[in-house]
Amino acid sequence: MPAWTNLSNNTHDTWYKDPGLRWNVFHGLGLCLVIAANSYGATLLGGFQAVPQWVSYFGNPKGNILGLYSASYFLPSIVTSYLGDYISTKYGRRWAVFVGMTLMLAGGFVNTFANGVGMWVGGRAIMGAGVGVVKVGAPVLIQEIAHPRLRATLGSCYQGFAYIGTVVSAFMCFAGLYIKGDWGWRMPSLLQVIGPAMVLAVTWHCPESPRWLVKNGRGNEARAILAKYHANGDLNDGLVDFQMSEITTALEKEQSPRQTSYIDFVRNPGNRRRLFVMTLLALSLNWMGNGIITYYLAPILRSVGITEPVQITLINAFLAVWNLILALGAAVNVDRVGRRPLFLMSVAGMLVCYGIIMGLSAGFAKTQQKGLGSAVIPFLFIYFGFYSIAFTPLPVAYTVEIMPFSLRGKGMALFTSIATCGNSLAQFLNPVILGAIAWKYYAVFLVILSLYGVVIYFVFPETKRLTAEEAATVFDK
């Protein structure tokens, strides 16, 4: 058992009966709204393509123009994620969240009141720039302020909140169909500012990372924060003493006469393993077969004979709700089950489901039997169920916890940049290859899933129930 579990701690056994832990959960889940706001903005474009007012206002964009609209939101974060690292390292994790959310708020207003294509794309680009900054600060801050009992769950809830944004976006675009004139698309656009506004309010009340404070010579403030939220104000609490000692010791070990840089990721075996694992997890967001289904669900369903728009819309909506339930369910139980079992169970389940989906799609392509096409639907749900129990909650959370403090911001900057590049490549390649070879493209992902399973088994260590400092050392043993 981890050492912290045997220490005296002035908290109630049930978190919601404890004042300090209630605030801890409020701040953690409030910061999770970052990814819900990002998901809402990212998925609006897909919804708008079914809103006649938007299509008419922007001249029925297709092909490369739609690609430009999509890229304007994603591509800025490739660069601004490194700005997020600079801000979170020099000025604090909270300031990275403040700057990122302020940019998203401003971009949302520009997007809403756009009077032409240039202004609309510009608004999305401003929002995308903010996303890159805040994605570095928010997940790190969540785990660095969380009580050890809550760290894994709150950190794992972060990416799961993306499905909240997806569901709300779908319903708002549906509502836009019944609003006359330009406000049919301006109203859903205006709602983009609600998420950033809520996160800004939470962050204003949220404490700074105790790790960042100790690193910057503000140990008394760090102790006061740990005491307030982890021990209901008891400055001499056993867990608070343990955390302060652990943080101080870890930072002393990481001290170096030179400034930390991205080159440190290749300086020793432990950091090289961290870089390798982080890269795999960043690419897993779009390259485990989910990228095809997420962005091209409608054409995939049409390819197996499901063509009614209402059917496709309902399947999409229920899929998002299903994913949300399973992702948050896994997040709540991540310290009971462990990271490795979730990862391995997820890959094995996806591999089996993808093989079945490929077989059914091939059978439908040859015979055109509607029964084969309809049989794909439950396996899409089962496939995403397996994906959501690990590769929704864990990639960001696991990346944050395996990084030492000095590399945590840089690790998330690289993660965000690599994930965005992987997403952009998937959006470019998937429609081309899927259109050319149809169901045969699924074979590529059977190979990818198999490789992930092997690598996870041999390379990914367990971090169950460890503190942030303990988890950060698993690659150095």
CATH of the domain at 355: 1.20.1250.20
User: Own/partner pairs for 344-349, CB < 8 Å, 24+ apart?
Assistant: 344/453, 344/456, 344/457, 345/386, 345/389, 345/390, 346/386, 346/387, 346/389, 346/390, 346/391, 347/386, 347/390, 347/449, 347/452, 347/453, 347/456, 348/386, 348/453, 349/382, 349/383, 349/385, 349/386
Which of residues 255, 278, 310 is at a domain's end? 255
Do 137 and 45 share a domain, yes or no?
A: yes
Do 251 and 277 share a domain, yes or no?
A: no
**Ranges of the chain with pLDDT below 70:** 63, 256-258, 294-310, 312-313
Do 246 and 282 share a domain, yes or no?
A: no
Do 321 and 344 share a domain, yes or no?
A: yes
Do 197 and 96 share a domain, yes or no?
A: yes
Do 322 and 245 share a domain, yes or no?
A: no
Report pLDDT for 477: 72
Do 25 and 173 share a domain, yes or no?
A: yes
Do 279 and 236 share a domain, yes or no?
A: no
Amino acid at site 101: M
Which of residues 204, 232, 255 is at a domain's end? 255
Do 295 and 205 share a domain, yes or no?
A: no
How far, in Å, CA of 410 to CA of 83, rounded? 10
Do 136 and 239 share a domain, yes or no?
A: yes
Do 247 and 275 share a domain, yes or no?
A: no
How far, in Å, CA of 324 to CA of 439, rounded? 27
Which of residues 255, 289, 323 is at a domain's end? 255
Q: Rounded to the nearest 10 degrees, how much is the dihedral formed by the CA atoms of 465, 16, 31, 173?
A: 120
Report pLDDT for 148: 95
Which value, in Å, is the radius of gyration of the alpha carbons in the chain?
A: 23
Do 279 and 197 share a domain, yes or no?
A: no
Q: How many domains does the chain have?
A: 2
Q: Are the C-beta atoms of 248 and 236 separated by less than 8 Å?
A: no
Give me 179's structure tokens.
Answer: 């609003």
Give me 401's structure tokens.
Answer: 């916890």
Give the domain extent around 358.
263-477
Task: Quickly list DSSP for 133-162.
Answer: HHHHHHHHHHHHHS-TTTHHHHHHHHHHTH
